[in-house]
């Protein structure tokens, strides 16, 4: 039965407390993402019971209603009929919303970890799609030159190659923008500082004989292209300096001296302390995951793939983008996060195929096949998680088992992603010389997830329960 998306949009808005309780609304591929003024007003259980809603989670400061294929018509209906603020990214109010929802909670380590998680997620969101696109473009160029080597000498290839490399080289600039927007500061300050770290004359000093000082303090000469944390730390400092100077400097002098003081004070702190510190921390993050992989012999990939469905259900999957990018930029390959992410989606799809093979319910069979295709081909796992596997419970266990088996296989065989790409079967080319390893792991994951679903079974649904 088709879902009445117009009525669904009305019902959701009523149960989240009406437009007056909505600060911002946006969406991703499968979820409506609300920033609510008071999330306790929302009728969560009522929303879960609505036809067409696959689930409700609260993560990254967002009240997330999972709609799957119904997301676009529902979002468009809400935007058309209600006066609500919409944005491509919802990072302006993340911190405040988190504090509001936790105002009665003790500020433990988890509280501060949540704030950091939200901040990084919000800062990365604006440009992650661009990096995915650039990563896949690099893969396509590699495939073209593999079959037609002469193409690499042409100017057309060079121009596309420049474009594919640009978002990665200038990643600090993109991150500076996202971080500044999250902090509700002027992105131009953060972007200017990031560009200074990539300024050709400054970059030329790296590995040279000339030492640099600022106010007699030593400047660490490091290549900051493809880095993440230096830009994040710089943006945080600039946001506070901007707020301070625009507050204390008299209005008649503010337009000239506030920007001057913001940049002038930030420069020595960034170049002497924050930017090098960001590089050091990033290196240690990478070393930690590399060491974990070496100690476990690759079994860590299986463990991460096994717990990934619960990470998604917690709305925390974007937290892993930052260390994934650090690992990729520092070592040139990701043998931990991307394989786990892909294999989790394959496991979700495999469990759905198992459901489709076992169920006698025609509607459930159709829904399971559609969810499987979405998870395996498109890399969108929410319909599989909330629409099929979590609802039936036991197939979710099959997802864990399949992810564990396939992840361990990928780790042992040494599967490595050499570029960013979507987490689906279509990302196999980004594994380059380890494509066979990830292909075997995908097959293992799929077969184990299907078999586990068929063996464990589940309580089939009647037509009225769909």
- Domain range list for the chain: 5-105, 170-293, 297-465
Q: What is the DSSP letter of 360?
A: -
Q: Which residues are bridge partners to 64 per DSSP?
A: 33, 57
Residue 93 has pLDDT above 50, yes or no: no
In sequence order, the 6+-apart residues with CB closer than 8 A to the CB of 34 are 16, 22, 23, 24, 25, 62, 63, 64, 65
pLDDT at 101: 41
Q: How confident is the model at residue 285 (pLDDT cuts 50, 70, 90)?
A: confident
Comparing 22 with 88, which gets the higher pLDDT?
Answer: 22
pLDDT for res 447:
98
Confidence of residue 405 (pLDDT cuts 50, 70, 90): very high
The region of weakest confidence among 25-34, 301-310, 339-348 is 25-34
Superfamily of domain 5-105: Glucose permease domain IIB (3.30.1360.60)
Supply the mean pLDDT for the chain.
86
Q: pLDDT tens digit string along 225-282?
A: 888 889 999 999 999 999 999 999 999 999 999 999 999 999 999 999 999 998 888 8
Q: Judge contact between 30 and 73, C-beta under 8 A.
A: no
Q: Per-residue pLDDT for 23 more than 70?
A: yes
What is the rounded CA–CA span in Å between residue 304 and residue 323? 14
Six-digit token string for 77: 């209906």
332 DSSP 8-state letter:
S
Q: What is the pLDDT of residue 215?
A: 92
Q: If you average pLDDT over each of 105-109, 190-194, 314-318, 384-388, which comes out highest? A: 190-194
Element (H, E) at 23: strand 22-27
Q: Which residue has the higher pLDDT, 142 or 64?
A: 64
- Mean pLDDT over 453-459 rounds to 93
CB 450 within 8 A of CB 354: yes
pLDDT higher than 80, residue 190: yes
Q: What is the pLDDT of residues 103-147, one digit of tens each?
A: 444 566 666 666 776 677 677 766 777 877 887 788 788 888 878
Per-residue pLDDT, averaged over 424-431, amounts to 90
Q: For 329-382, how does the pLDDT look when each residue is reduced to its tens digit (9 = 90+)?
A: 788 899 999 999 999 999 999 999 999 999 999 888 988 998 899 899 888 787
- Of 102-106, 282-286, 445-449, the poorest mean pLDDT is in 102-106
Positive/negative CA dihedral, 373, 379, 381, 387: negative
Quote the pLDDT of residue 46.
93
């Amino acid at each position: 039965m088709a879902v009445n998306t117009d009525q669904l949009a009305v019902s959701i808005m009523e149960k989240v407390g009406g437009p007056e309780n909505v600060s911002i609304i946006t969406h991703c591929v499968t979820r409506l993402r609300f920033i609510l003024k008071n999330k306790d007003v929302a009728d969560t259980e009522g929303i879960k019971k609505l036809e067409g809603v696959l689930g409700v989670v609260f993560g990254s400061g967002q009240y997330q209603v999972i709609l799957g294929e119904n997301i676009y018509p529902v979002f468009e209906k809400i935007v058309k009929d209600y006066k609500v603020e919409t944005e491509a990214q919802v990072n302006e109010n993340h911190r405040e919303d988190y504090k509001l929802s936790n105002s009665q909670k003790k500020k433990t380590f988890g509280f501060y970890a949540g704030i950091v998680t939200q901040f990084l997620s919000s800062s990365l969101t604006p440009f992650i799609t661009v990096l995915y696109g650039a990563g896949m473009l690099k893969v396509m160029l590699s495939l073209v030159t593999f079959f037609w080597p002469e193409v690499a000498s042409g100017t057309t290839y060079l121009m596309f190659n420049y474009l594919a490399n640009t978002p990665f080289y200038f990643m600090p600039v993109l991150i500076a923008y996202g971080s500044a927007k999250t902090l509700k500061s002027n992105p131009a300050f953060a972007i200017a500082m990031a560009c200074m770290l990539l300024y050709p004359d400054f970059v030329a000093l790296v590995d040279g004989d000339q030492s640099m000082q600022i106010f007699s303090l030593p400047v660490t000469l490091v290549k900051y292209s493809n880095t993440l944390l230096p830009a994040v730390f710089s943006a945080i400092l600039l946001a506070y300096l901007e707020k301070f100077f625009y507050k204390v400097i008299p209005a008649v002098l503010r337009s000239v001296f506030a920007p001057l003081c913001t940049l002038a004070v930030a420069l020595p702190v960034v170049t002497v302390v924050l930017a090098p510190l960001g590089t050091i921390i990033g290196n240690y993050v990478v070393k930690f995951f590399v060491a974990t992989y070496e100690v476990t012999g690759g079994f860590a990939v299986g463990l991460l793939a096994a717990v990934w469905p619960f990470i998604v259900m917690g709305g925390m999957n974007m937290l892993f983008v930052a260390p994934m990018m650090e690992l990729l930029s520092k070592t040139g390959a990701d043998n931990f996060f991307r394989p786990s992410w892909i294999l989790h989606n394959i496991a979700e799809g495999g469990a759905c195929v198992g459901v489709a093979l076992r169920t006698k319910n025609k509607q459930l069979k159709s829904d399971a096949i559609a969810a499987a295709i979405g998870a395996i081909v498109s890399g969108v796992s929410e319909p599989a998680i909330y629409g099929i596997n979590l609802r039936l419970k036991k197939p979710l266990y099959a997802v864990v088992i399949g992810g564990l088996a396939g992840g361990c296989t990928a780790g042992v065989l040494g599967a490595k992603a050499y570029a960013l790409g979507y987490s689906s079967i279509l990302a196999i080319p980004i594994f380059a010389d380890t494509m066979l390893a990830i292909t075997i792991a995908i097959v293992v994951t799929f077969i184990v997830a299907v078999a586990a679903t068929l063996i464990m079974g589940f309580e089939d649904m009647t037509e009225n329960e769909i």
